[in-house]
Structure formats: structure tokens, C-alpha cells
A and B are shown apart, each in its own frame.
Chain A
Amino acid sequence: MSVFMLLALVAVFSVAGYILCRQRALKGAAATGQKLHSLPNYYGWYGFVMASVPALLVLAVWLIAQPLVIERQLSGFFPPEMIEDDAARTLLFDDVRRVAAGLDVAVAQGALTEDQAANIRTEFGSIRDRLATVGVALGAEVTPPVLQAAQDYREMSHIGALGRSILTVLLSLGGLALAIRVTKPAFRARNRVEQVVLALLILSSTIAILTTVGIVLSMLSESLRFFTMYPAADFFFNLTWSPNFRGNSELGLLPLLWGTLYISFVSMLVAVPIGLFAAIYLAEYASPRFRAIVKPLIEVIAGIPTVVFGLFALVTVGPFLRDYFAEPLGLGNSGSSVMTAGIVIGILNIPFISSLADDIINAVPQSMRDGSLGLGATKSETVRKVVLPAALPGIMGAVLMAASRAIGETMIVTMGAGAAAKLDLNPFEAMTTITVKIVSQLTGDTEFNSPETLVAFALGMSLFVITLGLNILALMIVRKYREQYE
């Protein structure tokens, strides 16, 4: 029975549970003259929950566990030296699965009977040719152990599927029966249902934690695998980045880190003054009308997808900087450069800084401004000498958050910064960043067992640690600042 059918069956039982339990409660109340403890619907929902939740939980666990168990069982078929290596093992089991799937298709199309599929041997002819007749293409001829493993795989999957169906249906029916049995007018159905709902709510809110755990675990495990193939000291301190898919790569983080920080620095040079002055003007000078029009307009920038900025960098900003600055000044002739990417990321970050700074400036108590103005300071003096110092920690927090965004930005640098990893000071040279290299090492057909691919996970880990560190620092600063006024 397919999983879809099972789900449909469980759904049917659950609906039946709802109807039966609700009716039973109502009938019970009518017969005994007792008042129901809960509203009738709660009895129905109790039946629904009992028929679905345990069955679905078991089904989910089974679906995750079955392939793992089968793979472990099948390892016995192959000599240990064949499956020692992780990569070889993955390939082998991919083969097994493909052959098994091929046999399934052959049976489904009638090219083989169920019996033949289970007993076919490589000695009696080419499996590859037979499977090719039903449209299953195999890369290479099937070896006897793989075929046998595939046949066992099929058999175990069949048994597994049968066990899964029986268990799920039994649990669903069992839950249903139990729910009907306990349904009496005095039964506290609402409390039970509410407990289940609360459990679901808690489960949902832990997804945030699970995601973080998933990020850390997935990157950590692959990074560790990378460090077994490539020395960690080389990764962190080597000054060259030259991946080579034939081996002997030099995978130093420093040139990428330099490019990342340089571009982020340029972007901050653009974003901080513009964003800050825009925020000051909007908060302190602008009339409410002007503010109501301009503030949303600036925030439009934040709503534009970064890939649009990337194209802008590639098509407009890059050639402009090259033709009017880099070439006349003799600084290079590359359209993609640190300046291109930096300026465009800066533009992207303007609304981020301006709206955060706007909030922070508005949070400075009016009494401080009034005091300063009362002493005869001009408005700009008040802003510079009173408001900004008071808002400084918050603004620092905003700047750090913007820096973390600039460091993690991907599309603009992929399209505007170039791909050459170098340690250079010329801002009109193409340089590259951590994110660009993550994209380039992981796109396309990649095998997950060479250091050239796995380095992306180590890069991702470094990026995650840097941005997380900046954010935590920013939050700490902001939180400390908040305590002063509240």
C-alpha cells in the first residue's frame, strides 16, 4: 500500500472517529440524562486525534528508519573493503537502489513477472539490456552482488511496506476504538484535546531551535570531514585560494575573508553616512507630510530583491565605474570590482540603517532636546551634541547589524565583485568573497567527497560564526542602551 493510500485511510478513520465519538457522547447524554462535560465537538475532536496522531507519528518514524535499517542489513552482501570508503559506499547503494527501482518498473510494465524479478541471475543474460527494454537506463552492467542486494532490497522494502501499512492501520483503528470506549458524558474531552493542541503549539515553536541545530550540525559535520582531508591550519592561514578539481588545491580562507571585509567596508562607507543623515533629517527636520511620503519610498529599496541590485551592479554601476573612474585613473579595467559591489551593497543597506537609526533617534526623550534648545543651541548642535551621543549605542548596534548583512550578502557580490581571490588594496580590482566561493563550489554537479566541494561547508561555518558574532554583539549593545531610558 502506498504512503498516499495509507494517509488517505488514516484520514478516513479520523473523520469516522470524529463522527462516531461525537454521536456517542450525545447519545450517552440523552440516554443517561447526564450533562456533557465538554461541548460535543470536543468529543469528536478527541476521536479524530486518537485515530490520527499516534498512527501518523509511527508512520513518520518508520519512513525515516526503514532505509537506514535496510542499508545496514545489505552491507553484509559486500566485502568490507568495498564499503569502507564513504564515497564508494554511497555510490554502491545508489546502484542497488537504481537496479531495484528498475526491477520494480519492469514488473509494473509486465516485462518480468514478480517471480522472475526475485530470482533473475546475472548468469542468464544481461540485466542491463532487459531493463533497457522497459526504459530503465543503467550506467554499467550489473554485478552479481549488486543484483542480489537489489533483490533483497526489494524484498525487504516489500516486507517493510507491509509492516508499515499493518502497523499504521492497526494503530489508527486501535486509537479509534479506545476513543469510542472512553467517550462518556463525564469524560473530560476538552481538557484532553487542549493538551494535544498545546503539545502541537510547543512542537511548532521548537522548529526555530531545530533549524539552528540543523544548520550547526550539518555544517559542523561536513566541515569536520573537510578538515580530515585538508589541514585546518592551512585553511585558516594559507594566503592562496586556488581550488583544483584534480587535487592539490590550495584552499586558504584569508584572501576570501579579505575580499569580504574590504567590500563590506566600502559598503559601510556608503550606507552609514547616507543612512544616518537620512534618518536624522527624517526624524528631526522633516515635516510630517514629507516624512509620510519619503520614508516609505526609501523603504522600497529594502523590498527590492537583491538579484535586482546584482543586475544593476553588473549592467550599470560596474561599467560606469570602469569607464569614468578606473580607466582614466589607470587603476584597472575590470567592470566587476570591490567598488562596484561595495557601493551597491551600500545602497541596499541605506534603508536598513536609516529605519533602524530613525527608531533609535525617535526613542531619545524629547526633554533632552528641549533642554539643549532651551540653552540656545541650534537644532544641528542639539542633534550632534545631545541626540547622537545619546543614541550612539543603538546606532552602533544598527551599524553592526548592517555590517553583518553586508558580509552575508551573496547575489550582489556574485554578480558584481568578480571571482578572482586575491589580497590587493586597489578597490577597482575584482576580488571575491566567502559567499561567492560557497556558490561557485556548490553549484553544478558536485560529489560530496572532495575537499574542493566540502570546503564550502567550512566557508559557510566561518560565515555563520562571523555574522552570528556581529549580531549578538549588536543585540548586546542595543539591549544595554535600552536599559538607560526604560
Chain B
Amino acid sequence: MSDATAASPIPTAHPRGKSSLFEQDALTRRRNAAETRFRLYGLTAIVVSLVVLAIMLFTIFRDGTSAFRQASLSFPITLDAAILDPNGNRAPEDLAKVTTIGYGNLIGQQFANFLAAEGIAVEGITDRDISGMVSRDAPGRLRDMVLANPALIGQTIDFTAYATGRIDGYLKGRVTMETAQLDSNVSVEQLQLADLLVERGILSVAFNSGFLTNPDASDQRPESSGLGVAIIGSLYMMVLVLIFTLPVGVAASIYLEEFAPKNRLTDLIEVNISNLAAVPSIVFGILGLAIFINFAGLPQSSSLVGALVISLMTLPTIIIATRAAIRAVPPSIRDAALGVGASKMQTVFHHVLPLAMPGILTGTILGLATALGETAPLLLIGMVAFVTNYPAGPLEGGVLDPATALPVQVYSWASRSDPAFIERSSGAIIVLLGFLVIMNVAAILLRRRFERRW
């Protein structure tokens, strides 16, 4: 070793005389270049993730905003007594004997007659094509209208019906003449007629509140499907989750932070909570299926079971947030309360808890926001079912009725074949994200308003 060092002179990376702070040598340049590259990698990573986020939100909004607007046809319709009330006595049971098929024929015929009278025609279009432009949801609605108000029979009313999904898609640019030629559900003539109808103001696209209030509809009529049942289901679930998790979560956190002795049981609980927070959500679905449905016999697809499963899932999150909030209350508060003679329990409930409340509520709202978007466990307990009846009011046992939830509706629409449902699915996401934004903003405001520095 010593020979080697003695033999070779000390390596001179920086030849004396040429070295200057203003002139970088090769090594420094390389090192600085590496520094810039490294910095650039970091910046790229951030840019990439933000760009992907932006693309995702952009595609959702591009596809979804049109779900809130819907093409509908409005035309006068004469409710012919000979067809709707063949016995002529207006008795409800006789009226109910006329099925939606009868109403469907009436609507198709009247629509074709109306177009003929207005002189709107397209060469080569059949009557079948014309009546096929009206949504299959229209006969049922007209029938309900007539049954609710038999006095309408014999009158001519202005009727507004959804146009079918394909016509709607044409007005929104999803369907074109080229795709129509390949599509058995729509013909080119229908689209030409649609153009004429738009000119005359019979067919128009307008805001569709039905998207928020209607129940789900079958594959055949995407135009009349809506989020009504899903929103009610999600609402029920969130209220129940709040009722189940907040008291239990706060109680558990108080025990663990303020009372629990350091022993095996406490350790076990702590380990359990942190592990539960990391268990895949689908496992909770299996648990719900096995325990709440198979063992306890609660009804499938009900918001109660959904809420129970999601509560178990959300509880660890809420406990972790609540414990942090309780821990943030300084010990001096407790000491002061104990010093003037309060019991431990009084200290906690009269002083610590009220001071920790803003933090607890913030954590709870954020936990609920996560819970609102949860999908996988709900699929297993049957909330993906096709539900067209609104659940009953909360006092009439509505939480036991079949319902769906917003994220589940997104999934079930996305898995249908008609492209019109992709639009609906994206629209449902917009509604879902709207609720999430509201909840998060509420949490932030709460934190700002009550934030305290000790």
C-alpha cells in the first residue's frame, strides 16, 4: 500500500491554476447535469400524476355532462276513449285492463298522424320507424297519467316523451349517420326525421331532472334511467353509518386514549384496529354476506346491511382520526379539571371531548366521504340488483327495502352494453363527485373555523 501511494503522485482532479469558480470542469458539469436531471425526474413525476388526474376528470366530465340533458319529443295526443276505455264507464278496474301495449300503439299512431298533419316526412320511412323514435318508457307514463286522472280521456293533451337513446345520442353527437347504417336499433331515415323535427322545435334537448329522480331502467331504455333509488339508498346508508360509527368510534377512542391500562388486551385492540384499516374492502363484503345476510337473516340488497358493512369498514378510520383529535387536547386542560375536583369521567366528557369535537367531526366527515365511494362490499351483499321501486320512507322500514347506491349504480351502468349507459355512468360519477366535494369542503371549513393552536 505504502509503496503504491509513494509511487503514484496524488491524483489531481483539478489541475492547479486552471481551477476557477466561474469555469466548471468536466466533473462538476456532469454532477450538475445529474442534479438537474434528478430534479427533472421529480418534477416529471408530479406533472405526470397531475396530468393523469386531469385527463381522468376531463373524460368523465366530457362523457358525463350530457347525461343531465335529454332529448324529448313534444306533440299533442288525443286520448281516444274507444281505445282507452272500451266499456265507456271510466271505471278504474276497466281502465287498468288496457295495457301499456295499447297505450304504446296509441302513442305511435298519434305521433305518426301528427307528423303527417304537419307535413313532416322523410322518404322511405316506415310508421314503425316513426313510432320507434318515442321511448318505450312513454306508454307506461301515459298510462299512469290516465289512471291517476281518468277525466283526461277523450281530451287532447300536450304530451312530452323522451326520445329513444339513439336519437338522443344523435343530437349529442354520439350517434352519426355512419354508425346508424351499422346499427339495427336506429335507421338513417329516423335520424333525417330527427333533423327535421329539431328544426320544427318538436324534438329538443333540455335539462333532464329525471336523471336525478327516476329509478333505474332496463337495458332497452337508457333514456329514462335515473339515480333516484341510488341517491336515496346512499343517503340512507350514510345516515345509518353516521349513527353506527360516531358513538361507537368516539367511545372506543375515549377508552383507548384516556382509560385503557397498558396491557395485553389494549395492545390487541390497537393491533386489530390498525390491521382492520388495511383489510381489503371486499373482505368486509364477504363478512357482511356471511354474518348479516346468511346468519342474521337481514334482507339482501337493503341499505341497512350495506350500512352495517360500511360501518365496520369505516370504524377504524374514524377511531384513528378521533384518537388524534383527543390526543391533541393538551394535558393541562385535564390537569386543571382534575385539580378542581372533577372525576376522570367528568374531565373527559365535560372538557376533553367538547374541545376535540371539531377534529372528531372533521375526521368523521372524511371517513363518510370515503364510505360514500365504497363499491366492492356492496356488490357482494346484493346492492347491484336492478331496483326500480323507491325504498319506503325511513319510518316505514325503508332501510330494509332493496336499494342501490351511487357508486354501485356507476358500476352496473358501466357493465351494460348500450353506449348510452356509459354517458349515464359518467353522469352518475359527476353526481357522486359533487357529493364528495361538498363533504370535503365541509370538513375543511369546519377545520378552519374551529382550528385551535394551544
Contact = CB atoms under 8 A, between A and B. Distances in A.
A393 interface: no
Interface stretch (B6-14, B18-26, B254-262): B254-262
- Residue of B37, B42, B376, B425 ringed by the most chain A CB atoms within 10 A: B42
Greatest chain A CB density within 10 A among B272, B281, B372, B425 is at B272
Interface in A272-311: 273-278, 280-282, 284-285, 294, 297-298, 300-301, 303-311
A378 B281 CA distance: 44
Given A311-B414, A438-B380, A208 B273 contact: yes
Nearest to A209: B272
Interface in A452-475: 456-457, 460, 463-464, 467-468, 471-472, 475
Given A297-B53, A312-B60, A219 B274 contact: no
Interface string A305-342: 11111111011100000000000000000000000000
A281 B410 contact: no
Interface string A242-274: 000000000000000000000000000000011
B39 interface: yes
Given A408-B283, A411-B375, A457 B290 contact: yes
Interface stretch (B73-81, B213-221, B432-440): B432-440
B283 A464 contact: yes
Contacts of A443: 379-380, 382, 384
B252 A401 contact: no
B315 A312 contact: no
A383 interface: yes
B209 interface: no
B44 A277 contact: yes
B129 interface: no
Interface in B42-71: 42-46, 48-50, 52-53, 55-56, 59-60, 63
A211 B287 contact: yes
B286 interface: yes
Nearest to A378: B35
Nearest to A409: B280
Interface in A213-267: 214-215, 218-219, 222
A315 B422 contact: yes
B46 A294 contact: yes
A207 interface: yes
Contact of B255 (A194, A204, A282, A347): A204
A203 to B, nearest CB: 8
Interface string B408-424: 10110011000000100
B278 A467 contact: yes
A307 B252 CA distance: 31
B53 A285 contact: no
Contacts of A214: 287, 291
A132 interface: no
Given A438-B380, A468-B275, A277 B283 contact: no
A72 to B, nearest CB: 16
A410 interface: yes
B32 interface: yes
A303 B312 contact: no
A14 interface: no
Contact of A311 (B284, B369, B410): B410
B312 A211 contact: yes
B50 to A, nearest CB: 6
B268 A215 contact: no
Contacts of B356: none
A281 B380 contact: no
B159 interface: no
B276 A208 contact: yes
A73 B410 CA distance: 47
Contact of A315 (B35, B39, B59, B284): B59
Nearest to A408: B280
A411 B34 CA distance: 40
Contacts of B259: 198, 201
A204 B278 contact: no
B39 A281 contact: yes
B60 A303 contact: no
A384 B32 CA distance: 14
B375 A307 contact: yes
Contact of A378 (B31, B252, B274, B289): B31
Interface string A383-405: 11000000000000000010011
B101 interface: no
B437 to A, nearest CB: 9
B290 A218 contact: yes
Contacts of A207: 248, 252, 312, 315
Given A281-B42, A311-B425, A439 B379 contact: yes
Interface in A400-456: 401, 404-405, 407-411, 414-415, 435, 438-439, 442-443, 448, 456
Given A205-B255, A277-B45, A467-B280, A316 B411 contact: no
A219 B294 CA distance: 12
A354 B294 CA distance: 41
Nearest to B45: A277
B59 to A, nearest CB: 5
A206 B48 contact: no
A380 interface: yes
A276 B290 CA distance: 40
Interface in A365-392: 378-381, 383-384
Nearest to A377: B31
A178 interface: no
A414 to B, nearest CB: 8
B415 A208 contact: no
Given A201-B259, A209-B268, A215-B279, A442 B380 contact: yes
Contact of B35 (A215, A351, A379): A379
B426 interface: yes
A380 B38 contact: yes
Contacts of B252: 201, 204-205, 207-208
B163 interface: no
Nearest to A306: B375
A82 interface: no
A285 B269 CA distance: 40
Given A190-B343, A205-B255, A304 B373 contact: yes
A202 interface: yes
Contacts of A378: 31-32, 34-35
B37 to A, nearest CB: 8
A201 B411 CA distance: 39
Contacts of B284: 215
A2 interface: no
A209 B290 contact: no
A312 B56 contact: yes
B282 interface: yes
A146 interface: no
A106 interface: no
B157 interface: no
A314 B281 contact: no
A184 B436 CA distance: 53
Interface of A: 67, 190, 194, 197-198, 200-209, 211-212, 214-215, 218-219, 222, 273-278, 280-282, 284-285, 294, 297-298, 300-301, 303-312, 314-316, 347, 350-351, 354, 378-381, 383-384, 401, 404-405, 407-411, 414-415, 435, 438-439, 442-443, 448, 456-457, 460, 463-464, 467-468, 471-472, 475
27 contacts: A198-B255, A201-B254, A204-B251, A207-B315, A208-B273, A211-B272, A218-B290, A218-B295, A277-B45, A280-B42, A281-B42, A281-B45, A305-B407, A307-B375, A307-B410, A311-B414, A315-B426, A347-B56, A378-B35, A407-B280, A408-B280, A408-B281, A415-B414, A438-B380, A442-B380, A457-B286, A467-B278
**Nearest 10 A-B pairs (CB), nearest first?**
A408-B280, A305-B373, A281-B42, A218-B290, A277-B45, A204-B251, A380-B38, A410-B376, A205-B252, A201-B255
Given A312-B56, A410-B280, A442-B380, 8 more contacts: A211-B287, A300-B53, A306-B375, A311-B60, A380-B39, A408-B282, A415-B411, A472-B275
